[in-house]
């Protein structure tokens, strides 16, 4: 999917005034002092902070932003004053209700400001009086450019930056969960916001809106659906002359010790096959970074009962704790980093293992240790089936048909996966696609050779959820398109590891695919990925890149990319002891023989969306039951499994299309799922909008209905061929997979499309029609009818095929239905 954040439409209400966004300013209500700093409160609750002649905060106000809001620069805001404050001792109390006109929602709020020992204490509370949807609720602080330009800012303890001297390419240049937000970090008289609880903050440069200021905004509510009466709260102490030390210590994993392997201690003498055996390693050596195999490499050499040797790379790791506070979550490091090895035995019996470690000084080996693998009954890893290479199967031959969706990145934090993956698995889904993207699971975002161990731990967490809930993961290893990156790169405070601007080897994006050092860097990351997650039977496949053709310069050098794909796929297969499948992906509507004919690429994929103006989809995409099979047909001719890996509805800028929100029952999702089953694909079509569409509308049942229908289907032995049976009604669509001893049939009312539902067009039921299935042997057949919206058998009937044709009656079809047809 294209890397564009959720697009914001003009809808916002500013509570407590618009301040710097408007020329008129409310009169002062009072002044509080802390040393030489003065806090001036305006009569509508806004405030400013000065020290001598310097203005530290020019204006502050709470913002309630409606879904789709484009930000302060859009000028799409209305000023709402709340009246004069009340005095309560030394405190000022603002309170009132505001009618937010755009969403017709009334908000009740209070703001309390009082002196504190080292400055000023603020408490904000705001709550809607009816259920509503918002983009965010935040306190916005205007910071004068002249005062803060070039000075430091820290979201302590995890992120820091410098207020840009020149206008940055992306206005959001720092973001993260902070215990304290500190301006001019490291100085003796710095401005610090001490939050009562960790708070998500963003710092932005507003010069693109022709405003000479920066802004820091702290969230009271991160956005989404909010229930009536839900209190959004922000409490902090503002210290105008804080003298604490908040400089971040640079993370260094360098070591300068003699090369040594400590005693190997197994956590258990026995382990079930295909289950993780994790061994902590005590290893020292000399290296600048432990993520460069040319500086240090650690491998486990495992001899199996059959005499085969597995070489399993070890990895450097750091433990973390996942902390939660309301909707916010963050990771805190625990203990010291160290080496680990993870492996899974695939044979029953006694295994021996020794560790080999190398650095620039030489090589050392450990004494061998032994463990026994017992039969777990696990189905094993997923491969291209040897019986029918159009489908997938586990090692034991059991077919695997993928049913699921993309859950590629988080928007608000890792804990969103605690909701998405269990819900998908509970419904019956068995597939998810996850990206190692810059702001969430991407491990090599920073200086070259220094991996993000917190992101790696986050992926551990997601993979543990997938394993627990029966979900196989297609892990996408890379997703960037430009060195400067999308906005989310900047929000995450990350830098591109391959760019010369960050110490990398490449001045242009395309050089990543040809520069020897860049390729060496990528091979190192492949090694780390295999070491940390290769053991898992729940890794369906390694996907090298998301839509690799969208990297800048591809069209001039696509041959380099194709050669790189084959090279990296070969390398990955060579170093992966468990031989997971490898694939790559191309952007929407692109099918390239060079990619899908490559023997190193195990299956073919396609992406495609309904786009309101794109010629390939603006008309056909209104009917997903036509659109999805059309594009699957483009990739079925390569003699490989075919997967429609991304689909959905997008707006002109390839973001989430709000028209989907009117399709609350998921008609476009439903029709895409069922039509892909009947198109000869190896799995359902995989919807893209998991967090903004599937989850909010609780559409997981759509995956469950398909999962129950396909369960037990002999995909690899039936010899299915997709056919389009004849019908006697132009309103009736029929799709089928005709196989040896089993035929799968889906009948669809052509009028029941997402477009007609959203447009409120009439959708008359099909009263009486029939489907003619040819190529069947004469005789009686049992037809088992399924309700595709409930995932249950509704009735069975007996029909007779004559002259090689089985006529199947269809009546009262308002939406669609499916059948399984077997000879009696």
pLDDT in tens, 160-176: 889 999 988 778 888 88
**Position 19 confidence tier, pLDDT thresholds 50, 70, 90:** very low
- In CATH, the number for domain 726-823 is 2.60.40.1180
Average pLDDT, the chain: 91
Q: Give the relative orientation of helices 453-468 and 417-427 as an angle to the nearest 10 degrees.
A: 20
**158 or 754, which is more confident:** 754
pLDDT at position 114 is 94
Q: Which of 565, 584, 577, 555 is nearest to 522 (CA)?
A: 565
**Position 489 confidence tier, pLDDT thresholds 50, 70, 90:** low
pLDDT at position 180 is 94
Residue pLDDT, tens place only, 669-703: 999 999 999 999 999 999 999 999 999 999 999 99
CA distances to 436, 682, 727, 766 from 811, rounded to whole Å, are: 48, 30, 12, 6
Average pLDDT over residues 310-329: 90
Mean pLDDT check: name the lowest of 93-102, 162-171, 190-199, 721-730. Answer: 93-102
pLDDT at position 214 is 96
Q: Cα(581)–Cα(384) distance, rounded to whole angstroms?
A: 8
Q: Are 536 and 344 in contact (CB under 8 A)?
A: yes
Q: Cα(358)–Cα(339) distance, rounded to whole angstroms?
A: 13
- Residue 86 in 3-state DSSP? strand
pLDDT at position 20 is 38
The correct answer on CATH 2.60.40.10 for the domain covering 255-374 is: yes
For residue 14, pLDDT over 80 is answered with: no
Name, in order, each residue with C-beta under 8 angstroms of 703's C-beta and a sequence gap of 6 or more. Answer: 403, 404, 405, 424, 427, 428, 429, 673, 684
For residue 320, pLDDT over 50 is answered with: yes
For residue 487, pLDDT over 60 is answered with: no
Q: Count of CB atoms within 10 A of residue 378's CB?
A: 16
Domain boundaries, the chain: 12-242, 255-374, 382-717, 726-823
- In CATH, the number for domain 12-242 is 2.70.98.90
pLDDT at position 447 is 86
- 362: phi > 0 → left, psi -120 to 50 → alpha, else beta; which? left
**Position 52 confidence tier, pLDDT thresholds 50, 70, 90:** confident
Same topology between domain 12-242 and domain 726-823: no
Please give the helix or strand (H or E) that residue 667 lies within, else none: helix 667-677
CA distances to 409, 422, 470, 533 from 427, rounded to whole Å, are: 21, 8, 11, 25
Alpha helices in 313-443 (DSSP H): 417-427
pLDDT at position 666 is 98
Q: Where are the beta strands (DSSP E) in 452-529?
A: 472-476
User: String of b and e for 329-353 (b: at least 16 CB within 10 Å)?
Assistant: bbbebeeeeebebbbbbbeeeebeb
pLDDT at position 341 is 98
Q: Which two tokens stand for residue 637?
A: 């001719």
pLDDT at position 494 is 61
pLDDT at position 350 is 98
Residue pLDDT, tens place only, 551-563: 999 999 999 999 9
Sequential DSSP letters for 48-83? EEEETTEEEEEEEEEEEEETT---GGG----EE---
φ, ψ at 744 (rounded to 5°)? -100, 135
Q: Are 141 and 243 in contact (CB under 8 A)?
A: no
**pTM of this prediction?**
0.86
Average pLDDT over residues 322-327: 79
Q: Are 406 and 690 in contact (CB under 8 A)?
A: yes
Mean pLDDT check: name the lowest of 193-202, 307-316, 773-782. Answer: 193-202
Average pLDDT over residues 659-671: 96
735: β partners:
746
Q: What angle do CA 378, 432, 610 make, to 5 degrees?
A: 150
Sign of the dihedral through C-alpha 497, 501, 507, 509: positive
Q: Give the relative orientation of helices 558-575 and 516-533 as an angle to the nearest 10 degrees.
A: 40
pLDDT at position 485 is 65
Pairing of strands 604-607, 792-802: unpaired
Given this structure, which CATH class describes domain 382-717?
A: alpha beta
Mean pLDDT check: name the lowest of 220-229, 694-703, 754-763. Answer: 220-229
Place of tokens 């039951």: 625
**Position 85 confidence tier, pLDDT thresholds 50, 70, 90:** confident
Mean pLDDT check: name the lowest of 9-13, 144-148, 237-241, 659-663. Answer: 9-13
Q: Cα(160)–Cα(192) distance, rounded to whole angstroms?
A: 13
Q: Are 655 and 5 in contact (CB under 8 A)?
A: yes
Q: Are 719 and 388 in contact (CB under 8 A)?
A: yes
């Amino acid at each position: 999917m294209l890397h564009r954040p959720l697009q914001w439409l003009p809808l916002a209400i500013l509570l407590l005034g618009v301040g710097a966004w408007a020329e008129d300013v409310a009169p002062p209500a009072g002044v509080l002092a802390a040393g030489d700093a003065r806090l001036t409160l305006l009569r509508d609750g806004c405030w400013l902070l000065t020290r001598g002649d310097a203005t530290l905060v020019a204006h502050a106000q709470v913002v309630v932003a409606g879904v789709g809001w484009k930000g302060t620069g859009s000028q799409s805001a209305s000023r709402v004053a709340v009246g004069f404050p009340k005095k309560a001792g030394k405190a000022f109390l603002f309170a009132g209700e505001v009618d937010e006109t755009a969403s017709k929602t009334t908000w009740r709020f209070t703001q309390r400001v009082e002196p504190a020992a080292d400055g000023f204490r603020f408490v904000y509370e705001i709550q809607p009086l009816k259920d509503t949807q918002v983009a965010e609720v935040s306190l916005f602080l205007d910071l004068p450019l002249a005062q803060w330009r070039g000075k430091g800012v820290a979201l302590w303890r995890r992120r820091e930056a410098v207020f840009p001297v020149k206008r940055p390419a992306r206005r959001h240049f720092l973001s993260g969960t902070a215990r304290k937000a500190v301006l001019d970090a490291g100085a003796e008289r710095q401005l610090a916001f001490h939050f009562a609880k960790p708070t998500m903050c963003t710092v932005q440069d507003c010069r693109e809106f022709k405003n000479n200021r920066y802004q820091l905004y702290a969230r009271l509510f991160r956005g989404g659906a909010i229930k009536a009466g839900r209190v959004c709260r922000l409490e902090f102490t503002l210290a105008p002359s804080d003298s604490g030390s908040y400089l971040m210590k640079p993370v260094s994993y360098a070591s300068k010790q003699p090369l040594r392997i400590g005693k190997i201690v197994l956590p258990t003498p026995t382990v079930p096959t295909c289950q993780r055996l994790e061994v902590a390693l005590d290893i020292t050596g000399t290296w600048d970074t432990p993520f460069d195999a040319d500086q240090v490499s650690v491998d486990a050499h495992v001899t199996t009962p059959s005499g085969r040797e597995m070489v399993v790379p070890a990895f450097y790791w750091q433990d973390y704790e996942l902390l939660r506070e309301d909707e916010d979550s963050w990771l805190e490091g625990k203990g010291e980093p160290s080496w680990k090895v993870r492996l899974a035995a695939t044979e029953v019996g006694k295994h021996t293992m020794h560790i080999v470690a190398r650095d620039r000084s030489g090589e050392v080996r450990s004494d061998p240790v032994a463990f026994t693998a017992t039969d777990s009954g696990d189905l094993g890893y997923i491969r291209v089936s040897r019986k029918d290479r159009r489908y997938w199967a586990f090692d034991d031959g059991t077919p695997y048909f993928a049913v699921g969706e993309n859950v590629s990145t988080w928007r608000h934090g890792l804990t969103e996966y605690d909701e998405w993956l269990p819900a998908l698995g509970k419904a019956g889904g068995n597939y998810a696609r996850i990206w190692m993207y810059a702001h969430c699971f991407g491990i090599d975002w920073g200086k070259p050779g220094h991996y993000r161990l917190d992101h790696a731990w986050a992926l551990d967490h997601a993979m543990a959820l997938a394993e627990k809930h029966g979900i196989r993961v297609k892990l996408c290893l890379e997703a960037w398109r430009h060195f400067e990156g999308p906005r989310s790169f900047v929000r995450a405070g990350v830098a591109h590891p391959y760019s010369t601007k960050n110490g990398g080897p490449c001045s242009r994006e395309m050089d990543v695919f040809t520069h020897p050092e860049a390729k060496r860097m990528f091979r190192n990351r492949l090694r780390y990925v295999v070491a940390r997650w290769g053991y898992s039977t729940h890794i369906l496949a390694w996907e090298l890149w998301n839509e690799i053709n969208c990297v800048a310069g591809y069209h001039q050098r696509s041959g380099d990319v194709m050669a790189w794909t084959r090279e990296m796929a070969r390398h990955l297969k060579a170093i992966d002891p468990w031989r997971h499948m490898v694939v790559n992906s191309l952007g929407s509507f692109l099918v390239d023989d060079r990619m899908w004919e490559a023997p190193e690429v195990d299956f073919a994929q396609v992406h495609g969306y309904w786009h309101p103006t794109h010629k390939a989809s603006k008309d056909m995409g209104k009917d997903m039951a036509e659109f999805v099979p059309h594009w699957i047909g483009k990739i079925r001719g390569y003699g490989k499994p075919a997967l429609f890996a991304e689909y959905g509805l997008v707006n002109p800028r390839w973001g989430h299309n709000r028209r989907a929100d009117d399709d609350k029952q998921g008609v476009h999702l439903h029709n895409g799922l069922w039509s892909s089953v009947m198109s000869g694909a190896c799995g359902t079509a995989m919807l893209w909008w998991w967090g903004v569409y599937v989850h909010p509308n609780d559409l997981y049942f759509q995956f469950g209905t398909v999962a129950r229908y396909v369960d037990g289907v002999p995909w690899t032995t039936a010899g299915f061929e997709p056919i389009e049976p004849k019908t006697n009604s132009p309103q009736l669509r029929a799709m089928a997979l005709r196989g040896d001893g089993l035929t799968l049939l889906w009948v669809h009312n052509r009028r029941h499309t997402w477009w007609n539902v959203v447009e409120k067009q009439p959708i008359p039921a099909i009263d009486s029609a029939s489907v003619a299935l040819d190529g069947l042997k004469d005789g009686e057949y049992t037809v088992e009818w399924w309700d595709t919206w409930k995932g249950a058998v509704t009735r069975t009937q007996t029909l007779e095929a004559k002259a090689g044709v089985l006529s199947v009656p269809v009546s009262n079809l308002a939406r669609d239905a499916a059948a399984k047809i077997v000879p009696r």
